[in-house]
A and B are shown apart, each in its own frame.
Chain A
Amino acid sequence: MTFSFLRRSETAIALVLLVAMGLIGLVNPAFWDLANLFSLARSNVIIGIMALGVLSVMISGGIDVSFPAFAVAAMYLTIRAMLAWGWHGVVAPFALAGAIGLALGLVNAFFVSTFGMIPLIVTLGTGALVRGALLGLVGTSQINIDRMPQELIDFGNLTLLSRIGPNGTHFGLSAMILLYLLAALLVHLFLTRTMLGRGVYALGSAPEAALRVGFNRTRVLFTVYGLAGALAGLAGLLHGSMIWLANPRDFVGLELDVIAAVVLGGASIFGGRGSVLGTLLGVFMLVMVANSLIIMHIDTTWQRIVVGGIIIAATTVTSFRDRRQLA
C-alpha cells in the first residue's frame, strides 16, 4: 500500500526525467546554471497551459489539434482590439482571449457531440478554418514591441527571485510560472475531485457504460473542448505578452509538441488515462530536451526530429502498457 506510488506511471516518468537531467548535466554542465533553469521554467508555461486542455480532451477519448489556431486567434484579435479601441488593462484582455478560445472550443464540442464526428477531423477543420479566417479577414501584419500594449509587456515581465548574473546581467524567474501552476492545480482538482471530472475519465474509459450509469456525455464534451479552447486562448495572449510580439502566423506545428508532452506524461491516446502531474512532467521533459538542444547549438530542424522521435517512443511505451493490461 505504502509503496503503491512506485507502480504509478508518474513515478516512472519522474525517474526517466531525473536520469535525463543527470545525463544532460554531464554533457553540458551549463545546464545547471540558475539562469538556464529559470529560462527552462519559463519555457514550460505556454506549452504547459495548452497541454492541460489537451490532457482533458485526451482523457475523454478525444483529441484536439485546433488549439494552436485558437490560441493565435485569441492573441491577435485581443491585441488588435486593444490597439483599435485604445483599450488598457490586463485582466479584461485576458478574459476576452479566454472567451474567444472558449467559444471556438465549444464549436468543436458541438460537432463532436451533436453529430458524433471524429474529433481529429473536426479539430483539423476548425483549426484550418480559424487560421485562414484570421489571416484572410483580420490581417497578416505582425504587431511589434513598439505597438504592443505596455501593460501586457509589464505583466509578462513580472519576475520572482531577481538575480544578477556573473557578467552583470539581470535575470529572474518568470512569475508566469505561478499562473501555470495555478491552472494545473485547478485542472487537477477538476479532474480528480469533481463528478464531472470523473465523468471525463468514465467517458474515455467506456463510453457506453458511462451513459448507462448516468453521465451526461454532452456536458462532458462541452466542458473538455471548452476548457481546451479557453486555456489555449489564455496561453496565446500570455505568449504574446511574454515575447512582446503578436504574430498571426505563430504557433504553427505546436500541436505536435503539446500532444507529445501529454503522451509523454502517460495519457492514453485511447482515453480514460492520464493525470495533471504526469502532464507537468511530460511538458518539462519535452521542453528540457528542446532547451538542451539549443544550448548545445544543435540546428532547429533536428529538434523536430527529436520531438517526432519522442512521440513515437512514448506512444510505443504506452501502447505496450495498455496492451499488457488488456491481455
Chain B
Amino acid sequence: MAFIELHDISKRFGGVQALAGVSLSIAAGEIHCLAGENGSGKSTLIKIIAGVYRPDSGTLRIDNDAAPLTPIAAINHGVQVIYQDFSLFPTLSVAENLALPSELRARRRLVSWSGVRKLAAAALARLGVAIDLDASVETLSIAERQLVAIARALMSEPRLLIMDEPTTALAGREVARLFAIVRDIQAQGIAVLFVSHKMREMLDISERITVLRNGSVAAAGFAQAFDEAALTRAMTGHDITAQSYRWRPRHGGAPRLELRGLALPGVLAPIDLALHAGEIVGVTGLLGSGRSDLALTLFGLRPRYQGEIRIDGRLVHLRSVAAAIASGLAYVPEDRLTEGLFLTQSIHRNLLATSYAALAPHGIIDFAEARARADAMMREMQITATDGNQKVIALSGGNQQRVLIGRWLMGEARVLILNGPTVGVDVGSKAGIHERIRALAEEGDLAVLMISDDLPEIVQNCNRVLIMHRGRVVEECGAALLSDAELGEKLKALA
C-alpha cells in the first residue's frame, strides 16, 4: 500500500510548464530516488509533496486522503524535508537546533533548558551519533551539520523523509556513513525520497528510481533495471559517450608549468611537477589533502610559498593574484557563485572582468571591441542565453560555469586550474563542459590542472592523475589504464 501517491500532477509557473502529468508513488519504508537534471522539475515536485505548492491539476493522496495539502498538513502526515542548506541556526547550539522545532510544535512559550538537552540527546542517540550538544552549529563540519538536520527531522516521527541532494557536499567516506544511516532510517519503517543527480549513488542506495526530464517522467522502475548508461539516457535524452582523453606529446620545449620543490610550510610538502601544453592532469584526494592549497598557491593566494614555479621555462613569482594572472594562470574556483561570478551583472561584463585592462590601451575602454570579443567567446563556449546583456544569475549552473571558464580564456591564459569544474552541473551540461575543456587543451595549447572529487570525471578527462594526501602527492598514475573504481579504491586505502 503506497504511503503517498501522485497521479497526473501538472504545475505551471507563468510561461513555464514545470511539471506535466507526473505520477509517482512511494511505499511505506521504501528508498525511492528522484533523479533529473537541474530544471527537470525535481524541486517543484518536492515542494508539491511538502505542501508548499498546490498542483494545477492531478491528484495527490497521502494515506488515501486526497485533501489539498498545506505545509502544516504535510508535516502532520509525517512528511519532512531536509533542504540542501539544512535550515539550521549556525550561532545556536546543537541541542537548541534539535529541540527548537519540537518545542515550537508543542506551542511552548517558555524554554526548559533541561528539556531541550534531554530531547536533543535522545535525537542524537536514535541516530547513533555523538556530537557535542553544547557546540554551536557553525563549528561543525558539513557532514555533522547534516546529521543534526537528519536527527532533527526524525524527531517529528516522520513517515517520509525527503533529502534534497544530500551528498553534494560530502566526501566519499561521509557518503558511506550517510547511506548507512539512510538504511537504518528505512529499517525503522520510514520511507526516504532521495533527490540526486549522481548516478552511482542512486543505483547504490535506492530500491526504485523515478527519472524526470523537462517536467515529465522519463523513466521509472526498480533500481536493478537501470545501469548508468540507461540513467544517463533517461536524464539527458541522449547517450553520452565516455571516451577517455589521450594526450600526444608534442615537439620539445619547456613545460607550460613546472614546479620545483613547491611547498607551503605546514600545509604542502615539496612538490615537483611538470605540466605540458595539451595535458589535462587530474588532482584528487580526500578533504584536507592540500589539493585546494596547491591551486590557491598557483593563483597567488598563498604568497609565502617556497620553491620555484616556472611557466614556459621562465621563473615566476606568484605572490599575488595580479602576478598570477599576468603570468598566464587562470583559476576557476570551486564555489562559482561566491568566489567567481558577479551574479547581478551581465554575461558580457562577467566575461570581460579580467580583460578590461587589455581593452583599454590608453585608459579608455574600446566598447565595440569588448562587445565583439565577448560575443565571440559566448559562441566559443556555447553559452545559451538571449544575449550578452542577460544577468548571470538567470543562467543555469552549466551556463554559469561556461561563463566563468570563458572569462579566463579571453585573456592569454596558458595554464588553466579548474577546482570542481562541474560541481552542481547536471549530466548533459557536464558532458558539454568536458568537451570544451578537452578542446581547449588540445587546440588552445593550454595545460589544465583539474581538481575534482568526481572520479569518473577525472578518469575520463585526464591523461594523468595525481593523488594527494595530507599535503603531499602520494601517487601519480596514467589515466589510460585506470578505472574510476580503481581510483576510488586507492582513495579509500588512504582514509
Contact = CB atoms under 8 A, between A and B. Distances in A.
Interface of A: 4, 192-198, 201-202, 204-206, 208-210, 212-215, 268, 271-273, 325-326
Contacts of A325: 90, 136, 138-139
A197 B100 CA distance: 12
A50 B134 CA distance: 30
Nearest to B72: A214
13 contacts: A195-B111, A198-B96, A198-B111, A202-B89, A206-B90, A208-B85, A208-B87, A210-B89, A212-B83, A213-B101, A214-B101, A325-B136, A326-B90
A61 to B, nearest CB: 10
Interface string B308-324: 00000000000000000
A206 B87 contact: yes
A204 B90 CA distance: 10
A205 B89 CA distance: 5
A7 B87 CA distance: 26
B138 A326 contact: yes
B92 A205 contact: yes
A272 B90 contact: yes
Contacts of B110: 193-195
Interface string B136-179: 10110000000000000000000000000000000000000000
A213 B267 CA distance: 41
B133 to A, nearest CB: 10
Interface string B79-103: 0000101111111100010001101
The interface centre, meaning the residue of A196, A212, A213, A214 with most chain B CB atoms within 10 A of its CB, is A213
B338 to A, nearest CB: 12
A212 B81 CA distance: 10
Nearest to A274: B91
Main SS of the interface on chain A? helix
Given A202-B89, A213-B100, A325-B138, 16 more contacts: A193-B111, A195-B104, A198-B100, A201-B89, A201-B92, A205-B90, A205-B91, A206-B87, A208-B85, A209-B88, A212-B87, A213-B101, A215-B104, A271-B91, A325-B90, A326-B90
A194 B91 contact: no
A205 B88 CA distance: 9
A239 B105 CA distance: 43
B248 interface: no
A206 B88 contact: yes
Contacts of A272: 89-92
Interface in B461-475: none
B108 interface: yes
Contact of B91 (A192, A195, A201): A201
B91 A204 contact: yes
A198 B109 CA distance: 10
Contacts of B90: 205-206, 272, 325-326
Given A202-B100, A208-B87, A214-B104, A192 B92 contact: no
Contacts of B88: 206, 209
Contacts of A271: 91
Contacts of B87: 206, 208-209, 212-213
A201 B86 CA distance: 17
Contacts of A201: 89, 91-92
A5 B13 CA distance: 52
A71 to B, nearest CB: 29
Given A195-B109, A325-B136, A268 B91 contact: yes
